[in-house]
Structure 1
């Protein structure tokens, strides 16, 4: 375990958990998470801090889980300095050896999958199966990164000069600052961290202040592995805090790459700060994702993708389905199927695997849900599945809302904006060109999908004349990306790419090399320079 410098005085209260969360309670105790926790770690020790405290309340039942002390300027500086020292050592480890450490991290996550998944569910509010699925994503990216550790390849090129060899290679970049959002409190960190580690970088993580305990749990899990392998202190660090901490990271010239996941507003602020110092930013921002339902679609299969895309994680995924663009000839038929399906949704405690939809993250999110609904009504939207905040037994936290559906038109302003809640908009279309125009006619460009059995329609949707999003699917929904493909989007989604494919290159610097093994020194382009 990480050496405790500033331990809490008392153990967690068992009353903070329901009976079916006992394993989560024991898990937190086993990881030395107390009522009062340091939120700053260099990887092998927790640091004292005079920062503000962050209270973690579960949206499941509204109860206080624990309190975390955020980073102050002194502890933040200590973390950055230690990370810089660690980078000098870590980058010299052979990449396959770094990959071996990541392999062991994956094994540790396999051991902790159930309790960590339950913690994700309890602290964030997503369904238990989604909590387990998020930890599985962490395991999968570890497996991917292990293979990648032996494939960080460059290219060789033919030189125009005789007796010369030219090639390019990739080198570690340095400190990677990682800012993550509450909706995927552990997976997105792992997407960045595991790739960065095999690339030879070191990481400083600022998790969402809404899910601080997930960050502490992950830090403790990897610490076990790092200690066994004598990984330098500072390779993976944790700093808890709010907006000010994010600004420190964005403006810190010691951090060449800042990977930030969150709202478009936040991303623009990070990009401006990082860009002003000519650093790099990897942005994963808002999504306003649509599914086109063709007249040639398999409607029963489409229904599954649409409903899960709209209500999974209570509509709090960046890839959640916000808009359904439905062909006019099957509009009423599919609308009736949707309404029937929505009336079968079970809303409640996400730790109960019988429930489909859990709570929103907090009451602020509920307020944004209600504001969007009022705005939609004022613009003429017609709710065919009524919204509402649920009250009574089991809903004491005040964070449970009813997934709703509204009929709108393509020119309404409300459909231009992302509401991080289970609000779904239905829009009619006449032909495919119109559908694609509606799909593309928003500022965001993350994920998109089309349901059709028509090959020509599918190919047009995936062509350069089709979807303008970073992700475009046929006959699956907008959410549920696999780690093997690069994840990210265009326009106000930020243009970043994480996870699979060649996303690893973001975490490295490219270098072109030319070697002269001849006895002469000919110049490029045939230039003559005789002495």
Structure 2
């Protein structure tokens, strides 16, 4: 694969400009412009949907063995081009290079997984209560899939959706995040090079000014049968309501508010590394980041001391391309200003700053640790999406479970305990879609990813990931 940046839209197997001209993509680490990318309009989107619809007529009838073979080729190409792809991710997202390389490998795992699962889309034979009837079910692809992907894991989230959609027999129109379109286009070039047929994958990047226009075009099209989105709850709610008129399937992976609970029996030798990984990976810009730390009063002071020491020794802020850096910049000025404002408000409300808390130059923000936080404070009521850890004390299990569930979001939750009975009670009581018990790195292609409440609907990855892109058909035979 060429190292040259791809900047055009991809529609029906043709690289082309957008009717809106171009928009700039910037390096958040330096503020420098990286490239001018095609700015697509609703008309471009309609043409991409038409191309996907035409390709679907053929793609849906390819055998699962053929689809699997192509998914394996994509996996192999991702791994062969990992370094180039990782550099592109880091340049446009600011993510440390090692984390970007890990993301490419993670992306490849979904193409391998769904290449295998494509051959296991089994139907069922249903015992009939009537001797003259035979009943069976089969799985069929739903049609054209619209995939709207986020900036924080710009290739991994696209891979998780796209691999499942292609395996099921769907064709796709992808709208990448406006901050990180270059990796989506580089990946699409890779797919073209390995032989993905024209129209099966279409990519329509757009500027922030055209997001509503492009999003509306995807929602309003009756030719789009399923829409999958990863991003904020507010945008997810808008997409949900907009898709109602065309009654399409929806898969929404939205914002999180993950609790991280440290019970009295917790092993801090495990809990501290778990907290570091969960809070500071990708500079805290993940939907499953620990958002609210609840630490039992008997361990509070030791936990805070050890977490502060780990932050001092393990975290290095800087440009993601530089050696040893594991904390890059925030993605853009809006996110930076939002975090600065929330930290200032929380400190003004009475929280104590243990580490960080003051702005750095550019879009960088120092790893920050606050104690004395209460559930009523600003940071405790919002998804932080940055390198800020807030600590709250608790006394009883009943109290902390109630506090952890006191949120409209329910994506992930974590707790550390060596009390077996407590482990089962709390894991079942937490109102989230995913629970990490003495573990924070849960995401893997084999396991279902998704939340409850305002954190979304549907599951990605695992054997359930194909459900979003297939429909169950019941066939009744008279004999």
Query: Conserved in 2, the CA contact under 8 Å of 1:416 and 1:443?
Result: no
Query: Conserved in 2, the CA contact under 8 Å of 1:87 and 1:201?
Result: yes
Match of 2:202 in 1: 237
Query: Conserved in 1, the CA contact under 8 Å of 2:45 and 2:218?
Result: no
Which among 371, 386, 396 is matched to residue 341 of structure 2? 371
SS in 2 for 1:402: coil
**CA shift at 1:250, angstroms?**
1.6
Match of 2:322 in 1: 352
| In 1: Cα distance, 2:101 partner to 2:29 partner | 17
SS in 2 for 1:131: helix
Higher-Rg member (1/2): 1
Match of 1:403 in 2: 367
5+ residue gaps, structure 2: none
Query: Conserved in 2, the CA contact under 8 Å of 1:296 and 1:454?
Result: yes
SS in 2 for 1:343: helix
| In 2: Cα distance, 1:310 partner to 1:62 partner | 25
Q: Does 1:258 align with 2:227?
A: yes
**Per chain length, whose mean CA-contact separation is higher, i.e. which structure has more relative contact order (CA < 8 Å, sep 6+)?**
2
Match of 1:500 in 2: 462
Listed one character per residue, the Cα deviations across residues 467-526 of structure 1 (whole Å, up to 9, x for unaligned) are: 11011011112x551111110111111123111131211111111111122xxxxxxxxx
Match of 2:476 in 1: 514
| In 2: Cα distance, 1:28 partner to 1:319 partner | 32
Query: Conserved in 2, the CA contact under 8 Å of 1:57 and 1:63?
Result: yes
RMSD: 1.5
Listed one character per residue, the Cα deviations across residues 411-461 of structure 1 (whole Å, up to 9, x for unaligned) are: 335312112211211111111111111111111101111111111111112
SS in 2 for 1:256: strand
| In 2: Cα distance, 1:313 partner to 1:112 partner | 21
Match of 1:467 in 2: 430
Q: Taking structure 1 as the reference length, what is the TM-score of the superposition?
A: 0.87
Match of 1:380 in 2: 350
Query: Conserved in 1, the CA contact under 8 Å of 2:414 and 2:435?
Result: yes
Query: Conserved in 1, the CA contact under 8 Å of 2:148 and 2:174?
Result: yes
SS in 1 for 2:119: coil
Which among 40, 44, 47 is matched to residue 71 of structure 1? 40
Q: 1:43 to 1:351 in 2, by over 3 A?
A: farther
Query: Conserved in 1, the CA contact under 8 Å of 2:229 and 2:251?
Result: yes
SS in 2 for 1:510: strand
| In 2: Cα distance, 1:219 partner to 1:378 partner | 47
Query: Conserved in 2, the CA contact under 8 Å of 1:43 and 1:238?
Result: no
**CA shift at 1:109, angstroms?**
0.6
Query: Conserved in 1, the CA contact under 8 Å of 2:250 and 2:468?
Result: no
The runs of at least 4 consecutive aligned structure 1 residues that moved more than 4 Å come to none
Count of matched residue pairs: 473
Match of 2:64 in 1: 95
Query: Conserved in 1, the CA contact under 8 Å of 2:257 and 2:383?
Result: yes
| In 2: Cα distance, 1:52 partner to 1:434 partner | 55
Q: Does 1:315 align with 2:284?
A: yes
| In 1: Cα distance, 2:108 partner to 2:367 partner | 31
**CA shift at 1:52, angstroms?**
4.0
Q: Taking structure 2 as the reference length, what is the TM-score of the superposition?
A: 0.96
Match of 2:163 in 1: 194
5+ residue gaps, structure 1: 2-26, 392-397, 518-531
Map 1:323-472 → 2, pairs under 5 A: 323-344=292-313, 345-391=315-361, 398-407=362-371, 408-463=373-428, 466-472=429-435
| In 1: Cα distance, 2:381 partner to 2:244 partner | 27
**CA shift at 1:311, angstroms?**
1.2
Query: Conserved in 1, the CA contact under 8 Å of 2:343 and 2:379?
Result: no
SS in 2 for 1:54: strand
